[in-house]
Structure 1
Amino acid sequence: MNSYVKENCRLLSSLELPECDGPKLKAFPDRGSPITWIEPINPRSDQSLSGGQGYVFKVEINSKIYALKVFKFFKPSTYRGSLGPIRGRNVTDRELEFHTDPFYAECRAYAQIKAQREIQGLKRKYIAECYGFLALTKADERVLEEYGVDLWCDFPSNDPYRNRAEGSPVRALVKEYIEEDFDIDEGTLKHMMSGIKWMNRKNILVNDIHPGNFKGPYLLDLGSSWTKPHCLWENMSRRKMRVILQEDIRTFEEMTDDMGLGRRRSPRLPYRRESWAGAEKYH
């Protein structure tokens, strides 16, 4: 086992992740308990079990049913080209990984949501709950192989990063399993929109608004999210930031139009300094 794999093993045995500034998600309390794999969950009817950022399964842990998202492996330097020359020199691959790897992106977003809900005493829920992270056992990995899951499918066998990182623990998040179906009516749309706006105000950009990412009013996935502090924001012009801060709402309105549920669109959102506090310094 090389030093990089050992470091990944150490990280996945931590009590909270990621090890960088900003919000951190706690480990799943029962992460040492065996997992009973029930069936794959495929939220998008037009996709096979091919995965995007990962694969979702219905599982049972300690007699409770959960949705378990198992993440593909991710090259830390994937977004290196999005950094300018100065930030590109200063940001380490590990920091870039903690901010942009879908696994760590979800850890940070869910931790921010939990913290902000507790601060506000907020009871209303906008997103399926996340109960923590865990590393899969070798026995669990064999189950995935039986399902035909390849967590390295985005990398050729001779890829240098794959050669260095293969053997690292498989990462997963334990989430709420939402079984019931919901009618998409005006109240549901308002709830969905309120949730997106609330997350934006709490410094989370979802970056992935589409019908398959919702179960009724609840957002299911935050693998593409950006949560402050975030190294890519530190390299953006104020003009680009203004566009990005409006992107979730614009995409949601386009989604409802495409679903035939759209109503008269709201005016384009103005840039508000009181929203996304401190955003003006990222320029």
Structure 2
Amino acid sequence: MATRCHGYLFLTTEDMNFLERQEGVDLCTNVIDKNLRRALGGNLRARAIVKDLEIDNLRLQKKNIDRAWRNVSLLNSLGVYTQDIRTENFMNCRVIDFGSSWTEPHAILDKADEIDTDEASVQRLSDCVLFDEMAEQEGIETTKKTPTSQHNLRPRKKAWWLD
């Protein structure tokens, strides 16, 4: 399903400075909202996720695309929505990047359920839509049956919570 994750480590100030200055990485510590700041006790140091090292022996292709879909579908059934389905976010048919993921319960999805159930549905099905787009861009034919064929998904638009 996903690469095994063991937890995280706090980056030192030196590590953070190196990543920002030398590597051009934006750690986005300035976008943490005040409630999260308070919950973190003011500790805004970036964290590095510690995962098993993967070597991609199974680039996504026609013979394994259904396996990759089953892994994404399983994550979705557990309430994990990666929101960033791209070829480079898979190794050995498993999702390896959860940087944009949403998990349920989720404040936006909960609010969407109350306000606009169609919008909540679209967000929950976004991995499916993105998976189809990824397979098409890669020229990989797939036999998988996705929920998109059962739902009238409108094109992505600016979400109501970003207004």
What residue in structure 2 maps to residue 174 of structure 1? 50
1:148 equivalent to 2:27? Answer: no
What residue in structure 2 maps to residue 259 of structure 1? 138
Distance 1:252 1:245 in 2: 13
For the 8 Å contact 2:80–2:101, the answer to whether it is kept is yes
1:200 equivalent to 2:79? Answer: no
- After superposition, the C-alpha distances for 1:226-264 in whole angstroms (9 at most, x for unaligned) are 111111012211111222232211211121111111235
Q: 1:235 to 1:198 in 2, by over 3 A?
A: same
1:251 partner SS: helix
For the 8 Å contact 1:246–1:269, the answer to whether it is kept is no
* CA RMSD, Structure 1 to Structure 2 (Å): 3.0
Q: How does 1:1-283 map to 2 (within 5 A)?
A: 126-141=1-16, 143-144=18-19, 147-151=22-26, 168-236=44-112, 237-263=116-142, 266=145, 268-270=148-150
Q: One-letter code of the match for 1:207?
A: Q
Identity over aligned pairs, percent: 23
Q: 1:140 to 1:247 in 2, by over 3 A?
A: closer
Count, aligned residues:
139
Q: What 5-or-longer segments of structure 2 have no aligned partner?
A: 152-163
- After superposition, the C-alpha distances for 1:163-199 in whole angstroms (9 at most, x for unaligned) are xx89832222112221243243444211110011101
For the 8 Å contact 2:83–2:127, the answer to whether it is kept is yes
Q: 1:217 to 1:243 in 2, by over 3 A?
A: same
For the 8 Å contact 2:85–2:127, the answer to whether it is kept is yes
For the 8 Å contact 1:206–1:226, the answer to whether it is kept is yes
Q: 1:193 to 1:180 in 2, by over 3 A?
A: closer
Distance 1:153 1:199 in 2: 26
Greater gyration radius: 1
TM-score by length of 1: 0.42
Q: What 5-or-longer segments of structure 1 have no aligned partner?
A: 1-125, 272-283
Q: One-letter code of the match for 2:54?
A: I
Distance 1:270 1:241 in 2: 16
- After superposition, the C-alpha distances for 1:10-31 in whole angstroms (9 at most, x for unaligned) are xxxxxxxxxxxxxxxxxxxxxx
TM-score by length of 2: 0.69
Q: 1:153 to 1:136 in 2, by over 3 A?
A: closer
